[in-house]
Structure 1
Amino acid sequence: MTAPDTPLDSFQMYVRLLGYVKPYWKAFVVGIVGMALLAAIEPLFPALMKTLLDKGFSGKPRDNLWLAPLAVIAIFLLRGIIGFVTDYTMSWLTSRIVFDLRNAMFARLLQLPTHTYDNQSTGLLISKVTNDVNNVTGAATSVLTVTVRDSLTIVALMSWLLYLNWKLTLVALAITPMIAIVVRVFSKRLRSASRATQTAIGDITRILEETIGGHKVVKIFGGQSYETARFGEANQRFRRQNMRQAVAAAATVPLVQFFSAIAVAVVIYIALLQGQTAETTVGGFVSFITAMLMLLAPLKRLTDVNAPLQRGLAAAESVFALLDQEPEDDRGSASCTRAQGAVTFDGVTFTYPGTERPAVADISLDIAPGETVALVGSSGSGKTTLANLLPRFYHAADGNILIDGVAVEELTLACLRGNIALVSQDVVLFNDTVAANIAYGGMGAATREEVEAAARAAHAHEFIMAMPQGYETLVGERGVKLSGGQRQRLAIARALLKNAPILVLDEATSALDSESERHVQAALDKLMENRTTLVIAHRLSTIEHANRIAVLDKGRIVEIGPHAELIAHGGIYSRLYRLQRATEEALAA
Structure 2
Amino acid sequence: MSERTVPAQKPPAGSTPRRMPGGRGPGFGAGMPAERSMNFGPSARRLLGRLRPHRLQLSGIIALAVVSVGLSVAGPKILGHATDLIFTGVVGRKLPAGSSVDQAVAAARASGNNAFADMLARMHPVPGAGIDFSALGRILLLALGLYLAAALLSFWQGWLLNGVVQRTVLKLRSDVEDKLNRLPLPYFDKQPRGELLSRVTNDIDNISQSLQQTLSQLLTSLLTVIGVLGAMFWISPLLALVALVAVPLSVLVTQRIAKRSQKQFIAQWAHTGELNGRIEEAFTGHELVKVFGRQREVEAAFTEKNEQLFKASFGAQFISGIIMPSMMFIGNLSYVAIAVVGGLRVAHGSMSLGDVQAFIQYSRQFTQPLTQVASMANLLQSGVASAERVFAVLDADEQSPDPVEPALVAQPRGRVEFEHVSFRYEPDKPLINDLSLVAEPGHTVAIVGPTGAGKTTLVNLIMRFYELDAGRITLDGVDTSTMRRDDLRGRIGMVLQDTWLFGGTIRDNIAYGRPDATEEEILAAARATFVDRFVRSLPDGYDTVIDEEGSNVSAGEKQLITIARAALAEPSLLILDEATSSVDTRTEVLLQRAMAALRSDRTSFVIAHRLSTIRDADLILMMENGRIVEQGTHEQLLAARGAYQRLYLSQFSQALTEEDEPTDGAARTPAAAQGALSG
Partner SS for 1:58: helix
One-letter identity of the residue aligned with 1:16: G
Name the structure 1 match of 2:556. 485
Q: In structure 2, do the counterparts of structure 1 residues 96 and 328 end up closer, same or farther at CA, with 3 Å as the change threshold? A: same
Matches within 5 A, 1:231-310: 231-310=302-381
Residue 242 of structure 1 deviates from its aligned partner by 1.2
CA distance in 2, matches of 1:426, 1:114: 17
Q: Is contact 1:438-1:451 (8 Å) kept? A: yes
Matches within 5 A, 1:381-400: 381-400=453-472
Quick one: which of 16, 40, 43 aligns to 2:73? 43
Instruction: Specify the alignment match of 1:363 in structure 2.
Output: 435
| Equivalent residue runs for 1:561-580 within 5 Å | 561-580=632-651
Query: 1:471, 1:512 → 2: CA distance?
Result: 20
What pairs with 1:427-576 in structure 2 (closer than 5 Å)?
Answer: 427-441=499-513, 443-576=514-647
* AA in 1 matched with 2:266: R
Aligned partners of 2:540, 2:227: CA distance in 1, in Å? Answer: 66
Confirm whether residue 28 of structure 1 aligns to residue 28 of structure 2: no
| Residue in structure 2 matched with residue 124 of structure 1 by the alignment | 195
| Aligned partner (choices 344, 369, 376) of residue 417 of structure 2 | 344
Query: Structure 1 residue 245: deviation in Å?
Result: 1.3
What residue is the counterpart of 2:125 in the other structure?
Answer: none
Residue 83 of structure 2 is aligned with which of 31, 35, 53?
53
* Superposition deviation, residue 133 in structure 1: 0.8
Superposed CA deviations along residues 340-381 of structure 1, whole A, max 9, x for unmatched, are: 111111111211127x44222221101111111111111111
Instruction: State the superposition RMSD in angstroms.
Output: 2.2
Residue 389 of structure 1, CA deviation:
0.7
Q: Distance in 2 between matches of 1:578 and 1:11?
A: 64
Q: Which residue of 2 aligns with 1:221?
A: 292
Q: Per-residue CA shift, 1:433-452, capped at 9, x if unaligned? A: 111111115x1121222111
Find the counterpart in structure 1 of residue 247 from structure 2.
176
Equivalent position of 1:95 in the other structure? 166
Letter paired with 2:531: A
Counterpart of 2:510, as a letter, is I
The reply to whether residue 380 of structure 1 matches residue 414 of structure 2 is no
The CA deviation at 1:523 is 2.3
Q: Within 5 Å, give how 1:202-213 maps onto structure 2.
A: 202-213=273-284
1:489/1:523 contact within 8 Å kept: no
SS at the partner of 2:356?
helix
Residues 1:526 and 1:330: Cα distance change in structure 2 (over 3 Å) = farther
Q: Which amino acid aligns with 1:258?
A: F
Task: Measure, in 2, the Cα distance between the counterparts of 1:134 and 1:372.
Answer: 49
Contact map agreement 2:69 2:150 (CA 8 A) in 1: no
Q: CA 1:381/1:26 → structure 2, altered by over 3 Å: closer, same or farther?
A: same
Is this contact kept in 1: 2:503–2:545, CA < 8 A? yes
Which range is displaced more, 386-395 or 57-66?
Answer: 57-66
Alignment size in residue pairs: 583
Paired AA for residue 13 in structure 1: R
1:412 to 476, 484, 497: 484
Q: Distance in 2 between matches of 1:4 and 1:571?
A: 57
Deviation at 1:582, TM superposition (A): 4.4
Is residue 421 from structure 1 mapped to residue 451 from structure 2 by the alignment?
Answer: no
CA distance in 2, matches of 1:226, 1:3: 31
Deviation at 1:92, TM superposition (A): 3.0
CA deviations on 1:381-412 (whole Å, 9 max, x unpaired) are: 11111111111111121221111122111111
Q: Match for residue 663 of structure 2? A: none
| Cα deviation 1:280-336 (Å, max 9, x = unaligned) | 111111111121122232221111222211212111111111122233223334242
Q: Confirm or deny that 1:16 pairs with 2:53.
A: no
| Aligned amino acid, residue 454 of structure 2 | G
Partner SS state of residue 178, structure 2: helix
CA–CA distance in structure 1, aligned partners of residues 611 and 549 of structure 2: 28
By how many angstroms is 1:511 displaced? 4.5
Match of 1:166 in 2: 237
Displacement of 1:255 in angstroms is: 1.8
Give how far 1:494 is off: 0.9
Q: Who is 2:670 aligned against?
A: none
Equivalent position amino acid for 1:388 in 2:
N
CA distance in 2, matches of 1:10, 1:293: 32
Contact conserved, 1:335 with 1:415, CA < 8 A, in 2? no
Equivalent of 1:5, from 13, 18, 39?
39
Q: Describe the shift of the 1:436–1:328 C-alpha distance in structure 2 as closer, same or farther (beyond 3 A).
A: farther
1:187 to 1:483, Cα distance in 2 relative to 1, 3 A: same
Task: Return the index of the structure with the highest Cα Rg.
Answer: 2
| TM-score of the two chains, using structure 2 as the length reference | 0.82
Write out per-residue CA displacement over residues 238-289 of structure 1, whole angstroms, 9 at most, x where no aligned residue. 2111111112222111222222222222222322332343211111111111
In the TM superposition, residue 11 of structure 1 has moved relative to its aligned partner by 5.1
Q: 1:536, CA displacement in angstroms?
A: 0.9
Q: Which moved more, 1:123-132 or 1:469-478?
A: 469-478
Q: Which moved more, 1:243-252 or 1:54-63?
A: 54-63
CA displacement at 1:26 relative to structure 2 = 4.4
Q: Residues 203 and 576 (structure 1 numbering): CA distance in 2 closer, same or farther, change over 3 Å?
A: same
Give the direction of change, closer, same or farther, for the CA distance of 1:585–1:539 in structure 2 (3 Å limit).
farther
Q: How much has 1:532 moved relative to structure 2?
A: 0.6
- Return the alpha-carbon distance in structure 2 between the equivalents of residues 371 and 101 of structure 1: 46
Amino acid at match of 2:71: I
Identify the range of structure 1 (176-185 vs 55-64) with the bigger mean alpha-carbon deviation. Answer: 55-64
With 160-169 and 262-271 compared, the bigger mean Cα shift is at 262-271
Q: Report the secondary structure of 1:71's partner residue.
A: helix
Look up the SS of the partner of 2:453 in the other structure.
coil
Residue 33 (structure 1) shift: 2.6
Go from structure 1 to structure 2 and tell me whether the alpha carbon gap of 1:327 and 1:511 turns closer, same or farther (over 3 Å shift): same
Offset of 1:586 from its aligned partner? 5.9
Amino acid at match of 1:233: E
Which sections of structure 2, spanning at least 5 residues, go unmatched?
Answer: 1-34, 90-128, 659-676
State the identity %: 32
Q: With structure 1 as the length reference, what TM-score do the two structures score?
A: 0.94
Which stretch shifts more, 304-313 or 90-99?
A: 90-99
Q: Which moved more, 1:262-271 or 1:395-404?
A: 262-271
Distance 1:540 1:326, change over 3 A: same
1:360–1:555 Cα contact (<8 Å) kept: yes
Contact 1:42 1:156 in 2 (8 A): no
On the 8 A contact 2:82/2:140 being kept in 1, the answer is no
Contact 1:93–1:141 (Cα < 8 Å) also in 2: no
Residue 122 of structure 1: CA displacement? Answer: 0.4
Structure 1 contact 458–526 (Cα < 8 Å) conserved:
no
Rounded to whole Å, the distance in 1 between the matches of 2:250 and 2:299 is 44
**Cα distance in 2, alignment partners of residues 578 and 266 from structure 1:** 95
What is the CA–CA distance in structure 1 between the aligned matches of 2:318 and 2:287, rounded to whole Å?
A: 41
Is the 1:351–1:357 contact (alpha carbons within 8 Å) kept by the matching residues of 2? yes
User: Which stretches in structure 1 are left out of the alignment for 5+ residues?
Assistant: none
* AA aligned opposite 2:39: D
